[in-house]
Each structure stands twice: as C-alpha cells, then as structure tokens.
Chains A and B, each alone.
Chain A
Amino acid sequence: MIEDRGFSTVAIASVRAQAEKTRPPRALWTSAMLGRPLGEPNDPAFQRQVLMAALRLLERADGPVVLEDFESDPPGASDRPDWRAPNVPHDDFATELAALMPVWEQAKARFGRTSVGLGFQPPERWAAFTDAFLAGGLPTVSGLDTAALALRFLCDDIKALYGEAAQAVGPAPSAGQVDRWFWHETAAGKLLNALRLVALASENNALKTVGGRFFVPAIYVA
C-alpha cells in the first residue's frame, strides 16, 4: 500500500507462508521466532546484519516480487542450562510479587528500560485489583475504558514484570525458559489461569472475550 503511493518498501517477514501469499514488493524472511524478528535482544551485531540484509533488497531491480531468506539462524535461541530463575517464594501472588520487586528493579537498571506500563497502575495495586476480579467484581482503572481492558493489560504487565525479572542477572534465558518458569512454577501463572476461568464464566461479554483469548497462551492453559 505504501509502495503504491510511490515509496520503496521492504518487509521483514516472520512467517514465510504469509509473505508468499501477500507477495510484497520486497521481503526478507528470517527464522527468528515470533516476537523478535530482528533476532536476539541485546545482540546489535546480529540485528544489524538482518536489517542491512533487508535494506539491501531496496536496491534490487528485479521485481515486482522479491522474497529472500536470511542466511542464518539467530544465535542464542536455545535454552541456557546455567540460567537460574529468580529465587522467590511461590506461596501466593502478593507474596511472590513483593519478593520479586527488588529483582525487577535490578532488571530495569540492567537494561535501562521496562515494558511494564500498559495497565495504568503500579505493581503495588496489582494483587488487590486481581483479588477484586476473583471475587466477582469489575474494577476499572483510570486510563482504560472498561474492566475488560483493565484486566487484559494488567495481565500483560504481570507477564512483563516477571519476564524482565527472569532476565535480571546472569546469562540470558531462552524465551522458552522464561515462559515455562512463568506458567509452570509461579503463583502469577496460576493466577492468570484463574482469572481466565473467572472471565470465561462472566456475564460481561467483553471480559469473556478478552479472558478467553488474551490472558493465557493456548499452550499454557491449565
């Protein structure tokens, strides 16, 4: 659509089958996993290689459809046996979260950023907020229009805080290690599955929809 308006475009493609169907003018398929199309985080050399390989396609004149494969897989996608999950108690969400807060602070200092913030409320309020949902309430938060959205983005923030804490120290875990720890070992993972069930049983259609689709990835539904 942008090419139609007179500008050269190149797409980085994560799913080759989709690029084959949509046939953009120029596309570079990479084998990087969904969610990190440029490769591994904090690996600028590899990211630059991917980006440069894509940009070079802008100079190709043999269109109208150019689809190339990036030559190598991203490094570091495998599990790291020397990674250790944060050592916090998993008794209940509030206790676990409180113990995880200093670890999360370490992560923020290490990476200079946090992806927490979609839910418009600080972690100190999360446990009470989710308790209200589990008790059948429909609490809302300033900044988001509905209870469904408030809970949907709170779930995103919970996953973000835990994911960042998991990477606070030591070697970078694989994406799978972070996910398996969160969904199989933490009270937060169990909480999100419980919230999903409450949402699915709700008479609030918006909550039912977001709970069924956007709280727990299908492979981690308990």
Chain B
Amino acid sequence: MARIEDIPQPTRDAVLAIPCPSFETTPFVAGRPLAERRIAIVSSAALIRRGDAPFAFGSAEVRFLPASVPTEDILVSHVSINFDRAGFQTDVNVVYPIDRLRELAQAGSIGGVADTHYTVMGSTDPAGMADAADRIAAQLAAEGVDSVVLSPV
C-alpha cells in the first residue's frame, strides 16, 4: 500500500524527504467533455523499448513512445529499487495503462487515444525539464491531443 504508514522504513523517510518543487503559477486549463478528448499518457517510470539504452540516473530527457509499440516490448528502467516490480512484470498497465485507455476509447468514455505517449525518469528535478515539456507540448499540439494523464511508478 502507498499509505505513507505502510511504506517500510527507511524508504518511507526517503520518500518524504524527496524535495518537492513549488511552482509560481497555478495554470488550470479547461476543456471539452471527456468523451471528446484525446488523451496521452506521460509516465515517469523511465519506460524504454526493448533494446534501447536505459535512462541515465537524473536524466531530464523525454522519450516518445508510439502507441503502436507492443506492451511486451516495454521495459521499466526507473532508477529506484524501492518499489514493487512483481506488478509490471506481468502487466505493464499497472504503470502504463495503454490498454485501459484504448478500452475507454472503444467504450466512448473518452474521445480517443494519442498516437504518441511520453516517458521521463521520475525522481528528477523538474527545474531541468523545461525542454522536455516543450517537446511534449509540441507533439501534443501536432497530434491534436488536448489532455494528459500523468502516471507514476
């Protein structure tokens, strides 16, 4: 469980000690009804395609993950070893819910699934990630995607 009291020590203290950024602005973008929105996933699990180099520790890069990449070819290269791995070993949807997103689109609950999704290394200071955010925003705009779900690991 990720109730803070259920995380074993010393991981609990480490999690609580992670510096959290504060932001000067509080943007809040309204949009169309959910059933009309195209959704992209941004995963902080440092996902890679099988055969690609793992993310480096502290990397501020973003990698694009085409929706067409089969889930069996997606690996998790996040640096931390203090989270469960048994879950995504058998079902990557626990960190990258691409199949669930497709099902919601098929059911008409959302308007559609983006052609491209995005992945970064969690535990990285977002102060250095402006370029990554710019690249994500440019691709979202190019694909006509208006909304993003951020998924941790």
Contacts and interface: CB of A to CB of B under 8 A. Distances in A.
Interface of A: 1-18, 21-25, 30-42, 44, 47-48, 51-52, 54-56, 58-59, 61, 63-65, 73, 77, 107, 110-115, 117-118, 143-144, 149, 153, 156, 159-160, 163-164, 166-167, 172-173, 175, 178-179, 213-219
A55 B82 contact: no
Contact of A36 (B81, B84, B104): B84
A112 to B, nearest CB: 6
B148 A2 contact: yes
A107 B72 CA distance: 13
A192 to B, nearest CB: 10
Interface in B117-150: 126, 129-130, 133-134, 136-137, 140-141, 145-150
A4 B34 contact: no
Contacts of B9: 218-219
Contacts of B42: 2
Given A32-B1, A113-B71, A40 B21 contact: no
Query: Contact residue range for chain B?
Result: 35 or more
User: Residue among A7, A9, A18, A149 with the most chain B CB within 10 A?
Assistant: A7
B136 A51 contact: no
Contacts of B93: 38, 41, 44, 47
Nearest to B6: A33
A218 B94 contact: no
Interface string B59-85: 000000000000110011101011111
B90 A42 contact: yes
Contact of B137 (A7, A65, A156): A7
B1 A117 contact: no
Contacts of A14: 2, 152
Contacts of B22: 21-23
B100 A47 contact: yes
A23 B84 contact: no
In the A-B complex, list the 7 residue pairs whose CB atoms are closest, starting with the nearest. A35-B84, A63-B28, A35-B83, A36-B87, A41-B91, A64-B26, A5-B137
Interface string B81-122: 111111111111111010111011000011000000000000
Contact of B148 (A9, A23, A179): A9
B90 A35 contact: no
Contacts of B54: 118, 144, 149, 153
A54 B148 CA distance: 11
Nearest to B19: A21
A156 B18 CA distance: 23
B104 A51 contact: yes
Interface in B33-76: 33-34, 37, 39, 42, 48, 50-51, 53-54, 71-72, 75-76
A166 B10 contact: no
Nearest to A55: B34
